[in-house]
Amino acid sequence: MCARRVVSFALDHAKYAQNNDDGGNASSLAPRTGTITVLSDQSDGKSASTAGTQKLLTPTSLVCTRRASAHLLENDRAQKAYRTNAAVCVPITHFPGEKYVAGIQSGGIREFANLRAAPVVVATCDDPIRSEYSYSQTTNKSKGFYRLTPFGWLSLQPNQVRTIANAIKPDVLALPIDDVPPAAGKRRRETAVSRTHAWLTETLDDGELQGDVALLAGLTGGTDEVVRARAAKLTMEAVRASSACSRVVGVTVGGLAHGYPADTTKAMLAASLEAVPESMVRYAPGLGAPDDVLRAVASGVDLFDGAYPLTCASDGYALTFPLTAQAARDATHEVDASASAGVDVGSDASKMNLRAVAYRTDARPLVVGCTCEACSRPYTRAYIHHLLNVHELLGEMLLEVHNAHHYSLFFEEMRRTVDDNSFDDFANAHFAYRSAHA
């Protein structure tokens, strides 16, 4: 009936050499670029927009949505802001049951919510914006999992996930993960691993999933590296053993959203990714701030959840951090000038607090030279400050537009520097800039 969409992932450039000096298996922890390709054939001859090939370059971020709309932005406007290189994330918790997907017709969420321009649509079992509330909510009694949805707390069964996915028709489905609260003990970790494993094997084996939807297998285990490594090994064995093996194009590294120190996060990533083949996409929800993203990309992560630019916008912040190594170095030396001017505006080195009175009469765009829809009009800092002040929706909308654009440029620069082997220089310049401002 509707077009088949087949998802594949290919590595474009992986940097092995630099990370090999500690011997061992560090190669999977190197920055890399890749391409997710979605091939669609047009079997119903209906809409030309779904035919052809769509490509998504990694590393990149997802676009967070609410009921399949990009938060405050119309979906085409959001795609433009993300420069059409962001996968769209549709949490199935926003359509938590059959009655919520009843209106979605054969074209799936892509047609229904005008996600036609999105290179890739990913359905997730967690809402990146609400994830902090839902991580520990797994019921012990049933096989399902509790999630905070727009309709309140609901228990979802794995087979419901498949029903919803069949209606939404995403390109990729990230399977549920039983996450481990930071304070959990050994037994809780083991339960999480076996439960996540059961959800995977059930999905692979019961054949309920229709179409060509690709899968991301979930990796869990909390902060315990041994448990994480074993979970990953078990998961990969299950994938290889399954007849639906080719559906699994990647993994979701779970449990990173709890604000662990950088070293802990790095160790958790390493433990989970060691057993994962390089040909698989790696999605690491819960990491979003530029520092975290740079470290995770250095560890070989390909996809991020995209909540960061949105939560910054809703807190009244515009992203302003330097987007190239050179800009970071220049800005590092500028620090003293602005500090001695005594301007304390509640901003930090990576973002600008538009609620601060200091911007009341500031006639500059958010970032001078930015080509986003907000900055190029230009809308001024003073106007956006006013809009936030009087609680006009447009203020947050404009911040979302700018932040999406800025964030996507950040990912583009990471891809560029990985490709020409200067990623370390970019990251170092960024961290030097950050510490100069700390």
Partner 1 sequence: MDAAPRRGNNNKRRRREEDSFEEFVSDEEGGGGGSGDDDDGSSLVSSARARVLSSPPLSTLLASSISPALVFELSSREKRARRATMTTHHFACQLPMFMPVGTQGSVKGLTALDLENARVQLILGNTYHLEQRPGSALIETMGGLHNFVSWKQAMLTDSGGFQMVSLSDLLEVSEHAVTFQDPATGNTTTLTPEHCMQVQNRIGADIMMALDDVVSSTANDPKRYEEATYRTTRWLKRCIAAHKRTDRQSLFGIVQGGLDLALRRKSCEELVPLNLPGYAVGGLSGGEDKANFWRCVDASLELLPENKPRYVMGVGYPVDIVVCVALGADMFDCVYPTRTARFGTAMVSSGLLKLRSRSFANDMRPIEAGCDCATCKRYTRAYLHTIVTREPVASSLVSVHNVRYMMRLMEQIREAIENNRFEAFVQQFMRKQFPRVRANDDYAVPYEKMEEDGRAPVWVREALAKAGIALKS
Residues lying near partner 1 in the complex (CB under 8 A) are found at 66-76, 100, 102-103, 105, 112-114, 150, 360-361, 363, 373, 377-380, 382-383, 386-387, 389-390, 392-394, 397-398
Stretch that binds Zn ion, among 143-151, 154-162, 327-335, 370-378 (CB under 5 A): 370-378
Closest distance of CB 310 from partner 1, Å: 12
CA distance 395 to 399: 6
Q: Residue 402 binds which one of Zn ion, partner 1, none, with CB within 5 to 8 A depending on kind?
A: Zn ion
Report if residue 375 touches Zn ion, rule: CB under 5 A: yes
Q: Residue 398 binds which one of Zn ion, partner 1, none, with CB within 5 to 8 A depending on kind?
A: partner 1
Any binding-site annotation on 258?
no
- Smallest CA-to-CA distance from 256 within 216, 284, 228 is with 284
State which residue, 57 or 382, has the beta carbon closest to partner 1: 382
| Span between the terminal Cα atoms of the chain, in Å | 56
Q: Residue 372 binds which one of partner 1, Zn ion, none, with CB within 5 to 8 A depending on kind?
A: Zn ion
Q: Is the dihedral of CA 297, 300, 303, 307 positive or negative?
A: negative
DSSP letters spanning 383-412: HHHHHHHTT-HHHHHHHHHHHHHHHHHHHH
Q: Residue 317: what are its φ and ψ, rounded to 5°? A: -105, 140
- In sequence order, the β-bridge partners of residue 319 are 351
Any binding-site annotation on 402?
yes
What are the residues whose beta carbons fall under 8 Å from the beta carbon of 148, sequence distance 6 or more?
93, 127, 130, 133, 134, 137
Closest distance of CB 57 from Zn ion, Å: 21
State which residue, 43 or 361, has the beta carbon closest to partner 1: 361
Report if residue 402 touches Zn ion, rule: CB under 5 A: yes
Closest distance of CB 367 from Zn ion, Å: 5
State which residue, 368 or 390, has the beta carbon closest to partner 1: 390
Q: Residue 355: what are its φ and ψ, rounded to 5°? A: -80, -15
State which residue, 204 or 375, has the beta carbon closest to Zn ion: 375
Any binding-site annotation on 372?
yes
CA 122, 126, 127: angle at the middle one, nearest 5? Answer: 85
CA distance 82 to 15: 26
State which residue, 95 or 283, has the beta carbon closest to partner 1: 95
Q: Residue 114 binds which one of partner 1, Zn ion, none, with CB within 5 to 8 A depending on kind?
A: partner 1
Any binding-site annotation on 333?
no
